[in-house]
Amino acid sequence: MQQKDSWLLPDGIEEILPEEAKHLESLRRKILDTFACWGYELVIPPFIDYLDSLLTGSGHDLELQTFKLTDQISGEMLGVRADMTPQVARIDAHNLNAEWPTRLCYTGTILHTKGDPLEKTRSPMQIGAELYGHAGKESDVEVIRLMLEMLAISGLQNVHLDLGHVGIYRALSKQAGLCDTQEAELFDVLQRKARPELQELMAGYSIADELKAMFLKLPELNGGKETIVRAQAVLLTANDEVKQALADLEAIAEKLSASFPSLPISFDLAELRGYHYHTGIVFAAFVPSVGREIARGGRYDNIGAIFGRARAATGFSADLKVLSALGKTAYQKEQRALIYAPYLDDAALNEKIRDLRAEGLAVVQQLPGQTGTAQELRCTAILEQDHQNWFVRTLSSATAPCVALPPASLQS
């Protein structure tokens, strides 16, 4: 058996080095502080959980992504969380049990058995917010606005918003009387936008021609604001649920356009991401440099039912690692100062260091016998003494000097 190098990591599992970790942690704090300003309270679900709880609602889509293990104490099947949404829904439904709207946020590492085809990582750092207990489109608007605020804080520009509504497909399937097998087949074809297969399916289904025509047109209902007008004409004979979904989409887009006049908004009525647990509007944010969504969410009103309380719910999530990587350029422009202090047994120096740290400034103190200059340690300033007073002198990045240890007689 070939020996592995002990420093190698499993495929799709990464470690985060100091500079990137500093940026990521700074961004995490900014985002959570913003969530708090909107009234969203932080919760911390467990990393492992009973498998049944993890595979509730959105979990059914993630069953193949979930690492499974047997609990040596209870003998029950456990799973490593692949999505935190079901856990947060349990907290709202079972632990908090409030009658009024509840706003919760979360962040933490999740684990997938397989990596994303584009990102490759199997250990995203999920961050998100959920609003429970309100069924109106106003709460959908709120969480989308909060998602856009999160992306702005991350330093991302040229954000594009895509809107859809799984209720349209659900209502059409119900109106057509599709059985579970037909609905699943049609869902798969629509997700792949395989139009020749869609035509074959429609030819084989015993449903009204007007419904076949609507299903065939569904993949074409994407684009800008004109999409809603086209959809209203194409789906003219659809039931009231479809018409209400279109009206909600239009109203949500209008409210967002009023708040973000320069935000590009598009519609895709055949986009069924999260179909097995979403019940209404779905949305995703994109930027030109990435070939997939960087944040996504939607309405999922039934997710808490298994926990004894099916409350209305809407929310979003993103991978903090992706946001950190995409926003790194903006972060580099506001690097935090790092002050270099000499090693010296001096009460005035130690007091100055304490004062600087109390002000939130970063100070690294030299150690006896260490190698490495202030410049090599990426310091931007140095503590120097002038007539018994210690002061901070800014260093030029090109000329930061090597600071020698003081003589032994001064260290005692």
pLDDT in tens, 4-23: 677 888 888 888 888 889 88
**How far apart, in whole angstroms, are the C-alpha atoms of residue 67 and residue 81?**
8
* pLDDT > 90 fraction of the chain, expressed in percent and rounded: 49
**Could you report the per-residue pLDDT of 99-144, keeping only the tens digit for each?**
889 999 999 999 998 877 666 789 999 999 999 999 999 999 999 9
| Sheet of 160-165, strands arranged across | 41-42, 102-109, 125-132, 313-319, 295-299, 281-286, 160-165, 265-268, 222-223
Specify the pLDDT at position 57: 60
pLDDT computed for residue 411 by the predictor: 37
Of 261 and 180, the structure prediction assigns the larger pLDDT to 261
Q: What is the mean pLDDT of the chain?
A: 86
Q: 39-43, 47-51, 333-337: which has the highest mean pLDDT?
A: 39-43
At residue 407, the pLDDT reads: 37
Residue 307 pLDDT > 80: no
Determine the pLDDT at residue 205: 86
Q: Which pLDDT band holds residue 30 (cuts at 50, 70, 90)?
A: very high
pLDDT above 70 for 50:
yes
Reply yes or no on whether the pLDDT at 28 is more than 80.
Answer: yes
Output the pLDDT for position 309: 72
Confidence of residue 409 (pLDDT cuts 50, 70, 90): very low
| Mode of pairing for the β-strands spanning 265-268 and 77-80 | unpaired
* Rounded Cα distance, 245 and 84, in Å: 27
CA–chain centroid gap for 310, Å, is 24
C-alpha span between 380 and 31 (Å, rounded)? 27
Residue 394, pLDDT above cutoff 80: yes
35 class by beta-carbon count within 10 Å (0-12 exposed, 13-18 middle, 19+ buried): buried
Average the pLDDT over each of 161-175, 181-195, 213-227 and give the range with the smallest value.
181-195
pLDDT band (50, 70, 90) for residue 260: very high
> In the structure, what pLDDT confidence band is assigned to residue 98 with cuts at 50, 70 and 90?
confident
Helices (H), 260-334: 320-326, 328-332
**C-alpha–C-alpha distance, residues 269 and 164, integer Å:** 5
Confidence check: pLDDT of 32 > 90: yes
272/347: higher pLDDT: 347
Residue 399: per-residue pLDDT: 45
C-alpha distance from residue 195 to each of 118, 169, 199, 218, 278 (Å): 25, 16, 6, 10, 24
Q: Are strands 160-165 and 281-286 parallel, antiparallel or unpaired?
A: antiparallel
- What pLDDT does 244 receive? 93
Any idea which of 22-36, 179-193, 267-281 has the lowest mean pLDDT? 267-281
* Contact by Cβ (8 Å): 129, 296: no
Cross-strand bridge partners of residue 299: 314
Q: In terms of DSSP bridges, do strands 389-394 and 381-386 run parallel, antiparallel, or are they unpaired? A: antiparallel
Q: What is the DSSP letter of 59?
A: G
Using pLDDT thresholds of 50, 70 and 90, give the confidence band for residue 406.
very low
The pLDDT of 146-167, averaged and rounded, is 94
Beta bridge partners of 284: 162, 296
pLDDT, position 290: 85
| Torsion angle of the four alpha carbons 277, 36, 124, 110, in this order, in degrees rounded to the nearest 10 | -60
The predicted structure's pLDDT at residue 4 = 67
Cα–Cα–Cα angle for 352, 353, 355, rounded to 5 degrees: 65
Closest to 120 measured CA to CA, from 272, 292, 273 = 292
CA angle in degrees (0–180, nearest 5) for 54-284-323: 80
Q: Strands (DSSP E) along 232-346, which ranges?
A: 265-268, 281-286, 295-299, 313-319, 338-341
Both structure tokens of 342: 């000499």
Q: Could you tell me which of 118, 115, 50, 116 has the C-alpha nearest to residue 81?
A: 50
Residue 321 has what pLDDT?
Answer: 94
Closest Cα to residue 321, out of 105, 126, 155, 129? 126
* Confidence grade of residue 201 (pLDDT, cut at 50, 70, 90): confident
Beta strands in 183-239 (DSSP E): 222-223
pLDDT score recorded for residue 25: 94
For residue 291, list its beta bridge partners.
none
| pLDDT reading at 68 higher than 50 | yes
Answer whether residue 392 shows pLDDT above 80: yes
328-361: b (≥16 Cβ within 10 Å) or e = beebeeeeeebbbbbbbebeebeebbeebeeeee
**pLDDT tens digits for range 170-198:** 889 889 898 888 888 888 888 888 888 98
Output the furthest CA–CA distance in the chain (Å, rounded). Answer: 97
pLDDT at 335 > cutoff 70: no
Sheet of 67-70: strand order equals 48-50, 77-80, 67-70
- Gyration radius (Cα) of the chain, Å: 27
> How are beta strands 338-341 and 381-386 bridged, if at all?
parallel
What is the pLDDT at residue 193? 81
Residue 263 binned pLDDT confidence (cut-offs 50, 70, 90): very high
Q: Which pLDDT score, from 0 to 100, does residue 194 have? A: 83
